[in-house]
Each structure stands twice: as structure tokens, then as C-alpha cells.
Amino acid sequence: MAITEDRPLALESGEVVTKNNRPLGALTRPQSDVGWASWFTTVDHKKIGIMYGVGSLFFFLFGGVEALLIRIQLSQPGNSFLSESLYNQVFTMHGVTMVFLVIMPMAAAFANYLLPLQVGARDVAFPRLNAFSFWCWLAGAIFLNTSWFLGGAPDGGWFAYAPNTSATFAPGNGMDFYAIGLQIAGIASLVSAINLIVTVLNMRAPGMTLLKMPIFTWMMLVVQFLLLFAVPVITIALFLLTFDRSFDANFFNVAEGGSPLLWQHLFWIFGHPEVYILILPAFGIISEVIPTFSRKPIFGYPFMVGSGIAIGFMGWGVWAHHMFVSGLGPISVAAFSLSTMFIAVPTGVKILNWLATMWGGRLRFNTSMLFAVGVITMFTIGGLSGVTHAVAPSDTQQTDTYYIVAHFHYVIFGGALLGMFSGFYFWWPKVFGHKLNEKWGKINFWTMLIGFNVTFGPMHVLGLQGMARRHHSYAEADGFTVWNQVVSLGSFVIAIGVLAFLINVVVSRREAKRNPVEMGPDPWDARSLEWSTASPTPVHNFDKDPVVQYQDDWWHRKWGTNDEGTIVRIAHPEDIADDGSNTNVHLPSPSYWPLVLSFSLPIIGYAIIFSLWLLIPAGIMFLAGFVGWALEPADDPEAAHGHDDHDDHGDNHDAATVSVGAEGASVD
């Protein structure tokens, strides 16, 4: 925590500052931090993290159903289960949903919940902006999906190649929903990136130098920088697309001198860093899980950090490998082929370091560890098939076939998603105060892993046999039938695996309610600061500001080395962890305005698509959101925080009271 102060402010004169200038009416900040209504106004990073998690899982079911529809359609040659038009909408929305509405917000769930905890802070730097990010994302997600009922979903592919997405070739509203919906969700990512970067750089606990941060925090920091630079690129591309479609601009219109390849470059300059935005969070998660369940520190910490940063940098120089068949010319192709191959080096370093971390360890294969090891093996397959794509001449055969569908599902499902599931099992007790059931966890893992391989393994074969992707159907004579049936079968096994996870959530919660087990702060003997406070995390995170001496500081508080060099216990976690009993913590007040401001954005979207008259209510709401945000008191002394029962008369000076966030501190 960089910003701390005593509260209430004691003036030099000894006069006590009293707060009698509270505004009235709508500008009063909401009070409650319990009950369902509090979720709409919360600025607590933990609640926001949970909402990201719930939201991403909700859309995960959406995207999953879309995947199953695709697989039903392709389970028979010449099938007409879905019409061509509907098929195009479904596969477009499957991609858009899984990338923007599932993996990214799921990573945001972990980042929001864990980054402040891991760096020893009480919240993110800008709590209201954090709430704004979440509601913006949700507004964009809902907006995108309302397209199903308003003339048809986007049908130009998640990559939306111009000019197939122009008003001429996609006359429906679908691609407008795509362009504007992603724009809104992009605001969420951008704002959140700035918020988390400031949090990590400015709000680390005393003593936590950059090279003492947990790897998860490091990878998330890299991701936020990638977002910070990548999102503006897609923002521009989406604006150009919206202007082409809605206002007769000609950025991609060949007849008027526009360039379709401009879209491809913009999309992939965003799109390839986006791949690392999707995968690095999972790398961070398993870099926490594997050491914990190997009972060893991470192997080669500086190299893990360095390779993550290297991936972040090199990720900017590989975008045109998506365009090897676009006709760039052999010199460009050669350059991007080389850069793509060499990004495999830092990735390989990471894999070898995880293996070295496990080497000689005490491996506990609980569900979290199984998922983490699943990432190592499955991602390796995706990485290696990625190398075969970097080989540009052979990519001209494999690109846009099912081989590449297999490749990126091994990366994004086998890497990112399995990593997040590892994270769910790992941090569930911290968030909800009880573990997930191990028996259901094993069922969850094995059905998902087997289903995943049965689904995406044969896609390599189908791709090499020449089955093109995004094809509505195939002919019996193409010889693709048998493997497609296997693939479709596998997709339903995955669905069972996901169902097992949901069952696990319910079963574990019921069991925890029926038979509450005293959940220690640190059930896994873990290493980073989030385990040094009670589970579930108290609303104020830490009773006192953590002070950090070591990398893996929490572990070093529990364990030391005796004279013989043997590791001995210094303390039990229950004895040294915060119990959440400190009530003298001042936290930022909830606010209505992030919600108001963010939900004005989809109305602007509807205005662009349907009628510009809608801009009037949208504009009023937008301005109200802005004005309310600006005018509401930054810090409402009357606002209760449940735990904030300190009196405001200043006779409590010795207690460690802390105000959170740049917003609160600057005004107080």
C-alpha cells in the first residue's frame, strides 16, 4: 500500500474535522454492502471478481451450447440441422463468446480478486473504475447477445474479414452488433488494464519489490500491458468498420480505394497479442499451483518472469503469421515465419521450468494440480502444432483447415481454460471458504480432459485430410464422416465434464453448509500473501498492512531453516494469519454511477443501429452517469462497510486505519 493515512484527519491545531457537508438525494453514496442489491453498487474488487467469474461461466454455457450446435450440424455429412445462415451466426458467436465473454472475463475474475491480495493491497487503485469495467463488459456482452432477437447474430466470423462484413455483403444488423458490442467490451478491458497496472505498480506492500511479486501477478501485469496497447488497435479497427457500415465510409471498400488487408493487419495486430492475453493468465495460475503441490519454490523465478515479459514483447511481432496466404510476398512471410518460431523459445523455457519445479517434488495430484499438469501437456501439443504453422510453406496447406482449429483449441482450451479450472479449484476455498469436492473434481477433470482430446485430437487428422473450417457441411465422399462423429461425441463428453464442475459447485456448497468445517486461512500450505488472511477473504482483505521480506513471503513466515539446514515450522498459519477481526478499516463507498454510465453505452449502440433518436435517452443517461460520478462525495463518512464501525471522532488514533485507493485519498 503506497497510500496510507490516519483517519480522521487530525489537524495541527488538534481540531477534529467533522464531515457535515454531505450532499443529499441522488448523490448520496449507497450504504449497504450486504444483500443482493449491494452487488449492483459494489466497488469491492472481490465482489467484482466474483461477478466476473459468474458472468464468464454463464457465457461459457452459451458458448458451449453454440459449440454443441456446430458439432450436431457436423456429425453427419450433408446435414441441414442448421441452415447456412444460422450456422454462420453460431460459429461466429461461438468464437466471439469464448474469446471475449469467457476467457478474458474469467482471467479478469482472477486478476480482480487476486492481484490486490497478492500485492498486499486493500483494493485496486480505482475502485469505481473497476466496477465500471465490469458493468461495461456485461453491458457489451448482453448487447452482443441481444442481436439474436434483433435481426440475427453476427455472421462474419469472429475475425470479421472485410469486405465480407461490409453493408453490401452483410446487410443484416449482426456485424453492427459485433463492432459496437466488442467496442463496449473493449472499454472494459482498457479501463481495467490501466486500473490493474496502477494497482500493481503503486500499491504493493512495503518490501515487495517487482522481483518479489508472485508469478501470477507478474503474468497478469504483462497481460494488462498487452491489453493497454492491443485494445486501442481493435478499437480503431471496429470504429472503421462501424463507420463503413453505418455512415458509408470506405475504409475497406475496394471500389472506392479501400483496403481489405488493412482490416486484417489491424485485427491481427490486436489479435495475436490477444492470444497471449488469453494464455498468460493461465501460465500465471499454474505457476502458483505447481510449486504449492510440489512443495517446492518455482524453479527459475527470474526466468519465468523474463520469459513472460519476452512473450509479451515478441507477441507484437508475429501477427502476420495469420496472413501467410493473404499474398504478403515471400520476404514478409519469411520475417513473420522467423519471429513466430522464436516466440516458441520463451514458451519452451516456461514449460521446462514447470517441469523442473515438479522434479523431485512431493507431487500432490489433487484436482487443481491435475488441471495444472493438464495445461503443461495439452498446451505443449498446441505449442508444437503452432510451430508447424510457423513453417509458412506448410501453413499454406494447414491454415483454415481443422488442423488449425485443433491447434488453437489445444492452446486456448488445453492451455487457458484448463489453467483457469486449476485456479478455480485452487482459490475456491479462499473465495468461498470451502474447498470444492475432490471426488467430483476428479470426475470433472478426467471427463473434461478425455472429452477435450477426443474432440480436438481428431481435428488434427481432419485438417490434414483437407477438411476446411467454417464449412457448413461436408460431403460423404470427402471421407470426413467417421472422425467428425468422433469429434461430435467428444464435444458432448466435454459438456458432461462442465456439468460435473457445476454439480461440484452445488454439492460442495451444500456440504459446506450442512457440515461446516473450520476453513483455515491456508488450506494448501501455499506461498503468496492471499493465504495470509482469513477465508473467505474479509471485506478489508488484511487486518494490517503486510510487510514483505521475501519472494513467497507467506511461506517464509511459516517455515524456516534450522542450523542443520532442515526446514522447520516457525508458525502455524492459523496463528499468524489475519483473522479478519480488524474493524478500523475505512473502505471506499459503493456507487451507483459506474452502473449508470456503463449501461448507457449499449443504448448508444442501439441508436447507431436502429434510430439515432435513441441517442437522446442514451445521452442523458451517459451524462447523468458522468456528472453523478464526478459530484458524488469521494468518501462518504456515513457509509457503512459492515466492518467499518470505527467512530469518526478521532479517539482511535493508535489503530491502523487505512483508506483505500487514489480516489479516496486524494479528496480526503
Residues 110-169 that bind other proteins (CB under 8 A): 156-157, 161, 163-164, 167-169
- Residue owning grid cell 471458504: 433
The amino acid at residue 659 is S
**Sole binder of other proteins in the list 376, 493, 601, 662 (CB under 8 A):** 376
**Sole binder of other proteins in the list 16, 34, 468, 667 (CB under 8 A):** 468
Report how far apart, in Å, the C-alpha atoms of 578 and of each of 288, 433, 536, 575, 582 are: 21, 14, 11, 8, 9
Q: Does 536 bind other proteins (CB under 8 A)?
A: no
**Sole binder of other proteins in the list 381, 493, 494, 618 (CB under 8 A):** 381
**Sole binder of other proteins in the list 106, 333, 417, 604 (CB under 8 A):** 333
- Tallying the residues shown for the chain, one arrives at 668
Q: How many residues bind other proteins (CB under 8 A)?
A: 115
Q: Does 377 bind other proteins (CB under 8 A)?
A: yes
Q: Grid coordinates in use for 237?
A: 479497427
Q: Does 11 bind other proteins (CB under 8 A)?
A: no
Span 281-320, contacts to other proteins by CB under 8 A: 294-297, 299-303
Of 235 and 366, nearer to other proteins (C-beta) is 366
Q: Does 395 bind other proteins (CB under 8 A)?
A: yes
Cα(195)–Cα(199) distance, rounded to whole angstroms? 6
**Sole binder of other proteins in the list 28, 202, 250, 380 (CB under 8 A):** 380
**Sole binder of other proteins in the list 317, 479, 619, 633 (CB under 8 A):** 479
DSSP designation for 635: S
Q: Does 455 bind other proteins (CB under 8 A)?
A: no
Q: Does 589 bind other proteins (CB under 8 A)?
A: no
**Sole binder of other proteins in the list 197, 239, 400, 511 (CB under 8 A):** 400
For residues 195 and 129, the answer to whether their CB atoms sit within 8 Å is yes
The amino acid at residue 595 is L
Q: Does 73 bind other proteins (CB under 8 A)?
A: no
Q: Grid coordinates in use for 337?
A: 515465419
The mark string for 190-229 relative to other proteins (x by CB under 8 A, - otherwise) is ----------------------------------------
**Sole binder of other proteins in the list 4, 246, 250, 397 (CB under 8 A):** 397
Q: Torsion-angle region of residue 152: left (phi > 0), alpha (psi -120 to 50) or beta?
A: left
Span 85-104, contacts to other proteins by CB under 8 A: 85, 88
Mapped onto helix, strand or coil, the DSSP state of residue 160 is: coil
**Sole binder of other proteins in the list 114, 314, 406, 418 (CB under 8 A):** 406
Of 53 and 315, nearer to other proteins (C-beta) is 315
Min dist CB 585 to other proteins, Å, is: 29
In DSSP notation, 514-581 reads: HS-----S-TT---SGGGGB-SSPPTTS-SS-----STTHHHHHHEEE-TTS-EEE---HHHHSB-S-
- Residue owning grid cell 453492427: 176
Of 367 and 591, nearer to other proteins (C-beta) is 367
Min dist CB 443 to other proteins, Å, is: 16
* Number of other residues whose CB lies within 10 A of the CB of residue 567: 11
In DSSP notation, 423-476 reads: HHHHHHHHHHSSPPPHHHHHHHHHHHHHHHHHHHHHHHHHHHTTPBTT-S---G
Strand-pair partners of 578: 533
**Is 556 buried (19+), middle (13-18) or exposed (0-12) by CB count in 10 A?**
middle
Q: Does 570 bind other proteins (CB under 8 A)?
A: no
The amino acid at residue 261 is L
Per-residue burial over 228-249, b if 16 or more Cβ lie within 10 Å, else e, is: bebbebbbebbebbbebbeeeb
Min dist CB 475 to other proteins, Å, is: 3
Min dist CB 41 to other proteins, Å, is: 37
Q: Does 583 bind other proteins (CB under 8 A)?
A: no
The span of 28-36, 114-122, 276-284, 357-365 binding other proteins (CB under 8 A) equals: 357-365
Q: Does 399 bind other proteins (CB under 8 A)?
A: yes
**Sole binder of other proteins in the list 2, 249, 309, 464 (CB under 8 A):** 464
Cα(456)–Cα(155) distance, rounded to whole angstroms? 23
Q: Does 550 bind other proteins (CB under 8 A)?
A: no
The dihedral built from the CA positions of residue 5, 10, 13 and 18, taken in this order, carries a sign that is positive
For residues 123 and 538, the answer to whether their CB atoms sit within 8 Å is no
Span 615-644, contacts to other proteins by CB under 8 A: none
**Sole binder of other proteins in the list 5, 16, 22, 365 (CB under 8 A):** 365
Mapped onto helix, strand or coil, the DSSP state of residue 279 is: helix
Of 27 and 363, nearer to other proteins (C-beta) is 363
**Sole binder of other proteins in the list 9, 34, 325, 620 (CB under 8 A):** 325
* Number of other residues whose CB lies within 10 A of the CB of residue 470: 14
Give the helix ranges, DSSP H, for 208-259. Answer: 215-247
Q: Does 563 bind other proteins (CB under 8 A)?
A: no
The mark string for 249-278 relative to other proteins (x by CB under 8 A, - otherwise) is -----x----xxx-----------------
**Sole binder of other proteins in the list 458, 538, 546, 580 (CB under 8 A):** 458
Q: Does 246 bind other proteins (CB under 8 A)?
A: no
